[in-house]
Amino acid sequence: MTATSHTVDAPLVDGSHTRAALAPDEDAFVVRGPATLTGTVRIGGAKNSALKLFAAALLAPGTSVLANVPGISDTFAMADVVRHLGATVAIEADGAGTHTVTIDVPDQLGEGTTLELAGRLRSSLATFGPLMARMGYAHIAQPGGCNLGSRGVDLHLEGMAALGAEITVGAEHFEARAPRGLVGADYELEYASVGATENLVMAATTARGTTRLRNVAREPEIADLIDFLNGLGARITGAGTPELTIEGVEALTPCRHRVVGDRIEAGTFAVAAAMTGGDVTIEGVDPAHLARPLDRMRAAGVQLRTGADFIRVLPGAQLVAADVATLPYPGFPTDMLAQFQALLSQAQGQSLLTENVYEGRFALIDQMQLMGADITREGHHVVVRGPRALHGAVVRATDLRAGAALVLAGLVAEGETVVRDPFHIDRGYADFLGKLTNLGADVERVGTAAAG
């Protein structure tokens, strides 16, 4: 393998200089380290489930209620998406960083999403399946979200065509039509795409006959979606396996559902505790949903205890190098790779991290180097050599998980770390700074968002 070189600016170590680098009123997270986290943190509902449940609610005219919905910016963006399609959405905070969401769905839905809405949120694509199931027509704008490289919609379109839809693709939108309704089919996905699995399952709920989907994604969030769909009256079996069977029903009716705990948020706090040598109990998550990341943490020397709905990170770990490779669930999640780059920068030895899903995960490397980390890219691998003493710097969140990883790095860095563009973090972590502060971190938000 040939190492890819990176040119980075000189670090800004002194806190007075890091703040001076910000524009007036610029929004940023400021982390003062080093810190040792202790205490208990409760995890909210899974972002990657809740957003899709908003879309799934469109399948059933009437009022559905979602509990344990995370209080993140993507939640409010997805509410705007389903409002655009005709639903009425009420969001009520429960005081714990989560919300109860009431979605009132009309008998007639709008035709599709706009470029403005799709540009804010890739999960807007999840309305494709419900629109086809309900209306037999969808006009969908190409989706946005984090810039993680190529994430096309071909599998969504191919699968919908297998169910009888006629597809037309344009530069900025695509259209699908099934004026006589969708028809059950046997379809095997080329690879286990989460989004395509979700759209096809939702579309098939009211298709005529039986649909069998093979090589489907098996993430816990998909199992949560299937639980919700079955609560609406769908007939779906095989959740958690590579094959789903969907017996089409004539219509669905509303229900109430509690969103599954967010395994990625839980994993992020577990890494934060381990990096800082802390003692933290993480509640509200099934440890089985994090089996591979927890296995890799143990391989890196982290001591853990788990129960039915909690993970405890014990203090005193001597971190050692460990290799990690991302794969579809039940493999190591790509959404945890950035956090592990930060963790393993503090481990003794050389770690090899391999990204097999999204090439955009490598954008973090330059920012970690600014803080003193010894991290280089070699093809689709990341080599991390440690331990390295990190120091405060001005860095930039390039996406949701990279932003969280930089905050974690700031927890062990000497001095003040300023993380620009924290809106990325807002997309996936509810009250991130509040939860860290409650665990003993010295972290604040500055700029217009803090003032507002």
Residue ranges at the known binding site: 47-48, 122, 335, 357
DSSP structural state of residue 179? T
Q: Where do we find the tokens 């009425």?
A: 88
**Residue 255 annotated as catalytic:** no
Q: How many CA atoms lie within 13 A of 282 on its CB side?
A: 31
Place of tokens 């969708």: 182
Residue type, position 35, single letter? A
The DSSP secondary-structure symbol of 57 reads H
Residues forming beta bridges with residue 169, ordered by sequence position = 174
Helix (H, G, I), strand (E, B) or coil at 174: strand
Q: Could you tell me whether strands 374-378 and 3-4 are parallel, antiparallel, or unpaired per DSSP bridges?
A: antiparallel
Q: Which residues of 24-44 are buried (b: 16+ CB within 10 A; e: fewer)?
A: eeebbbbbbbbbbbbeebbbb
Please choose, from the candidates 231, 203, 225, the residue with its C-alpha nearest in 3D space to the C-alpha of residue 54: 225
3-state secondary structure of 3: strand
Choosing from 87, 146, 192, 260, which is the catalytic residue?
146
Determine the 3-state secondary structure of 255 from DSSP.
Answer: coil
Task: Give the containing element (helix H, strand E) for 386.
Answer: strand 381-386
- Measure the CA–CA gap between 262 and 49, rounded to whole angstroms: 8
If we measure between CA atoms, which residue out of 424, 444, 439 comes closest to residue 338? 424
- Give me the active site residues, please: 146
